[in-house]
Amino acid sequence: MLGMSSGENKSRQSRLAFLGTLASGLAHEIKNPLSAMSVNLQMLREDLETAGPPTPREQRLQKRVNVLEREVTRLEEILEGFLRFARGYQLKAVAQSLNALLRETVEFWAAKAAAAGVDVQLVLEPDLPDVSVDATYLKQALLNLLNNAFDALTQRPAAEKSGREQILVCSRRTSAGVELLVIDNGPGIPAEAREQIFDPYFSTKAGGSGLGLPTVRRIVEELGGTVTCDTEVGRGTSFRIVLREANQAAPGEAAAAAEGTLS
């Protein structure tokens, strides 16, 4: 189980907050020169445009400008992704039914999965207590987990596929709170990658941002919940999100109330 105690959590969070401030400042500083480069490349490209057929030299120059523009755009996208992630989210949590949210999100998404031969099942415990969540963001977290499961099941050599690719989305009540599980019977996560999957920019996919799981963690923790991963190579992977029941105080509040520091 990859998890953290709440003490480790707190110090990791304050470290993250500090690094976040530092890095967002840096990212903002990089943005301006980058957009100046982009504008100048645009002008350079216009200057290179000729009425007649371009000479070989002009063709070469145009090609180089194209490469530079592509790379600048890529840098701008990386910065945007980073700033979105670093800013954090101002979540608006409202008491609601987790099962309704799961049905709504998964039923729509399952059609895409079915088209690729992945079977998606919902196993929902009836009569769950409401959870206090921001539906938009919890859906985003859920979609990140579903997309990861989908990638794990579909982006592997045909010889390794069983033909019974499956994703289970479960909800249930436990003593810890209300649980949401996303389980796949894909390849699992090799030991050397397990420690890193929640690190920003860790990705084993071509074109992967590596911000999917850090975003999930960030959203869930802002909701006062936890996310952990269980995985076994060759068997599959399950992500578990534990959310607080809507009518229960945050652990900090409960402790403070017990000590009489809250009136």
One-letter amino acid identity for 140? Q
Q: With respect to Mg ion, which residue has the nearer C-beta, 62 or 203?
A: 203
Kindly report the backbone phi and psi dihedral angles of residue 248, in degrees, each rounded to the nearest multiple of 5, phi listed first. -105, 140
Under 8 Å between Cβ of 86 and 44:
no
Residue 89 sits in the site that holds ligand ATP (CB under 6 A) = no
**Residue 99 binds which of Mg ion, ligand ATP, none (CB < 5-8 A, kind-dependent):** none
| Sole window of 74-82, 123-131, 134-142, 208-216 interacting with Mg ion (rule: CB under 5 A) | 208-216
Q: Using an 8 Å Cβ cutoff, are 189 and 229 in contact?
A: yes
SS3 of 133-168: the string is: ECHHHHHHHHHHHHHHHHHHHHCCCHHHCCCCCEEE
Give the residue among 172, 181, 178, 183 at the shortest CA–CA distance from 242. Answer: 178
3-state secondary structure of 174: strand
Closer CB to ligand ATP, residue 37 or residue 79?
A: 79
Is residue 84 a contact residue for ligand ATP (CB under 6 A)?
no
Backbone torsions φ then ψ of 93, nearest 5 degrees: -85, 135
Lay out the site mask for ligand ATP across 199-238 (x = CB under 6 A, - = otherwise): ---xxxx--xxxxxx-----------------------x-
Residue nearest to Mg ion (CB): 212
Site string for Mg ion, 142-181 (x = CB under 5 A): ------x---------------------------------
Binding site for ligand ATP (CB under 6 A): 144, 148-149, 152, 184, 186, 189, 193, 197, 202-205, 208-213, 237
Binding site for Mg ion (CB under 5 A): 148, 212
